[in-house]
Amino acid sequence: MFIKTFSLSCRFIRHTHFIKRSIVTTIATSTEESSKTKKPIEKRNDLLAKRYIGLEKNIWVEFVALFAEHKAINVGQGFIDYAPPNFLINFYKEALDDNNILLHQYTRGFGHRRLVEAISNVYSSYFNRKIDPLNQILITGGACPSLFNSFHGFLNPGDEAILIEPFFDCYEPMVRSAGGIPRCIALKPKSESTKADISSSADWILDKNELESMFNSRTRLIIINTPHNPIGKVFTHEELEHIASLCQKHDVICISDEVYEWITYDENKKHIRMATLPNMWERTLTIGSAGKTFSSTGLKLGWTIGPEHLLRSCQIVHQDCVYTCPTLSQEVIARCFEYELERLNSPECYFNSISSEFLEKRNKLVEVLKECGMKPVVPDGGYFILADFSQIAGNKFQSDTHDMKDFKFVRYLAKEKQIGIMPVTGFYTSEHRHLADNYIRFCFAKKDETLDKAIEILRQL
Ligand code: PMP
Ligand code: GLN
């Protein structure tokens, strides 16, 4: 009894960070192990930390392996399969040629000095304020770690986090592993748009009253994603204003995942930064990704921008995990930002030209999907396009208690047709999954040759 109470209180103390981790770990390990049967380690089934139980499945792990096994052409996962911009490659070469030996060593933990300065110089004008490079920017190993730092830096066990479904799949397990409780609200397509042969990502909307009902005294944060993965929706000023007013009313933090910030397809639906809305800077952390910004997802470098009082929590999670990100990559991205800064207002600036590169690809895929009897949801931003496949699949694939219809369909496509597409219910919690089992997600940020091969397969379906 004493041991159990002691071990529980140790766990509580661990969460509150009141005593040194080393002491807690030693005590917790010895108390927990003493109650174990003496099974050899390889036979034990209790090795996974309890906070990860129930979070074992991951759509990328499953589908990327499946696509590879069946040599399926990957038009599902969000990465570009052609060369990143030349200037990026050249800056790698230049950085190495400079023979600065320190670029091979650790750099400043919260972000390489040259990079945080370059980000501050570029983003200050977009955020309408001078961003302090040393205290308001944290460089991370990609947008994923920025998300992790935010959830783990703010959530106490039992705190609620509002997630908007569908969402980039790691949001939910990250909230849960931090001890938080996801409160989920789904974007729903307007009913006329579900019947139409072609619809728009802008048709997927949040019910204002339902959103309001998600907020309560336990709500710690809300995460928004605009432009959106997987729908491609670019949230309007009015939509963001409503979310902002609720955050202010309930004193909630907003995590704004803006990794596709530069990729929008309609002059009238440009990306709006949540942190620029009145009174939102103080309660918003904005997350960006070098991989998405410079079409080089393998970089795995990202950043969190926000006020010092919020960023501090993220820095604390970061300092005891990653501590510092790769120096050479940070140097290269710093040079990329410096280069773009010089031509920010010109059409050649990569931030201004990147969307037109993808627009043609988007339009091409939309046409083919229509032709094939799928109903595309035309995105206003990002890499992805949803398509309702129910007409072509007929009754062959049905959701049941084990598996969703879209999962069955994409497995079939990978195995039998060698085309890799993502199931959209993988971006939902089990509660709302049924809303999207007619949809699959394509990534059109691929070279023409890849798209053409995919189109050939789609036409034969
Ligand atoms: N957020 C969203 C919405 C994404 O689609 C992705 C995938 N690029 C990420 C975060 C993760 O980005 P990164 O590769 O920089 O970790
Ligand atoms: N963000 C990308 C997507 O949604 C890639 C995610 C991944 O590979 N984990 O496709």
26: pLDDT confidence band, cut at 50, 70 and 90?
Answer: very low
Average pLDDT over residues 351-366: 96
Here the tokens at position 105 are 């060593």
Atom of ligand 1 nearest to the CA of 145: 16
- What is residue 38's predicted lDDT score, i.e. its pLDDT? 76
Cβ proximity of 358 and 267 under 8 Å: no
Mean pLDDT calculated for residue range 357-368 = 97
- Strands 219-225 and 160-165 come out as parallel
- The HSE-up count of residue 341 (CA atoms within 13 Å, CB side) is 16
Distance CA 416, CA 404 (A): 18
Q: Can you give the pLDDT at residue 394?
A: 83
Of the residues 169, 171, 292, 296, which should be mutated to test ligand 1's pocket, given the most ligand atoms within 8 Å of the CB?
A: 292
pLDDT at 91 over 80: yes
Sequence-distant (6+) residues with CB within 8 A of 306 are 136, 275, 281, 284, 285, 286
Average pLDDT over residues 285-300: 98
Q: Are 444 and 458 in contact (CB under 8 A)?
A: no
The 3-state DSSP class for residue 410 equals helix
77 C-beta closer than 6 A to ligand 2: yes
Distance 290 CA to ligand 2 centre (A): 14
Calculate how far, in angstroms, residue 289's C-alpha sits from the geometric centre of ligand 1: 7
* pLDDT higher than 60, residue 271: yes
C-alpha to C-alpha distance for 297 and 395, rounded to whole angstroms: 37
The CATH code of the domain at 86-342 is: 3.40.640.10
Atom index in ligand 2 nearest the CA of residue 168 equals 4
For a ligand 2 pocket test, name from 57, 59, 60, 446 the mutation site with the most ligand atoms within 8 angstroms of its C-beta: 60
Token pair for 349:
């600036």
Ligand nearest to the CA of 286: 1
Q: What is the pLDDT of residue 194?
A: 86
**pLDDT one-digit tens code per residue, 305-323:** 999 999 999 999 999 999 9
Stretch 103-119: mean pLDDT = 98
- Segment (H or E) for 210: helix 208-214
**Equal fold, 56-82+349-459 vs 86-342:** no
Could you tell me the distance, in angstroms and rounded to a whole number, from the CA of residue 259 to the centre of ligand 1? Answer: 6
Residue whose CA is closest, atom 4 of ligand 2? 78
Instruction: Give me the pLDDT at residue 36, please.
Output: 53
Average pLDDT, the chain: 92
Does 227 sit behind a cis peptide bond, omega within 30 degrees of 0 on the bond before it?
yes
Position 16 pLDDT exceeds 90:
no
* CATH fold for domain 56-82+349-459: Aspartate Aminotransferase, domain 1 (3.90.1150)
Residue 406 has pLDDT above 90, yes or no: yes
Q: What is the pLDDT of residues 369-386, one digit of tens each?
A: 999 999 999 999 999 999
| Closest atom of ligand 2 relative to the 297 alpha carbon | 5
Region 35-48 average pLDDT = 82
Whether the per-residue pLDDT at 183 is higher than 50: the answer is: yes
Give the other-Cβ count within 10 Å of 57's Cβ: 10
The pLDDT assigned to 373 comes to 94
Render pLDDT for 186-217 as a digit per residue (tens, 0 to 9): 999 998 888 899 999 999 999 999 999 999 99
Which amino acid is present at 408? K
Per-residue pLDDT reduced to its tens digit, 420-451:
999 999 999 999 999 999 999 999 999 999 99
pTM for the full predicted model: 0.92
CA atoms within 13 A on the CB side of 324: 18
DSSP 281-329: GGGEEEEEEHHHHTT-GGG--EEEE--HHHHHHHHHHHHTTT-S--HHH
What percent of the chain is predicted at pLDDT more than 90?
A: 88
229 lines ligand 2 (CB under 6 A): yes
pLDDT at residue 27 in the model = 42
Q: Is pLDDT of 15 > 60?
A: no
Q: How far apart are CA 275 and CA 284, in angstroms?
A: 6
Helix axes 448-460, 350-371, angle to 10 degrees: 20
CA distance 134 to 122: 15
Residue owning tokens 């949540």 = 274
* Substitution candidate for ligand 2 out of 297, 384, 421 with most atoms within 8 A of CB: 297
What are the sequence ranges of the domains in the chain? Answer: 56-82+349-459, 86-342
Average pLDDT over residues 379-396: 94
Residue nearest atom 7 in ligand 2 by C-alpha distance: 60
| Ligand 2 pocket, residue 60 CB under 6 Å | yes
Pairing, β 137-140 against β 302-305: antiparallel
141 ligand 1 Cβ < 6 A: no
Kindly report the number of other CB atoms within 10 A of residue 320's CB atom.
Answer: 9
**Residue 37 — very low, low, confident or very high, per pLDDT cuts 50/70/90?**
low
Query: Over pLDDT 70: what percentage of the chain?
Result: 92
pLDDT digits (tens, 9 = 90+) for 209-246: 999 999 999 999 999 999 999 999 999 999 999 999 99
Q: Whose CA is nearest to atom 3 of ligand 2?
A: 78
Ligand nearest to the CA of 422: 2
Kindly list the distances between the CA atom of residue 258 and the CA atoms of 55, 315, 437, in Å, as whole numbers in the listed order.
Answer: 25, 19, 26
Residue ID of nearest Cα to ligand 2 atom 5: 78
> Is the minimum distance from the CB of 233 to ligand 1 under 6 angstroms?
no
- Mutate which of 165, 223, 289, 318 for ligand 1? The one with the most ligand atoms within 8 Å of its CB, which is 289
Average pLDDT over every residue of 358-378? 97
Could you tell me if the CB of 225 is within 6 A of ligand 1?
A: yes
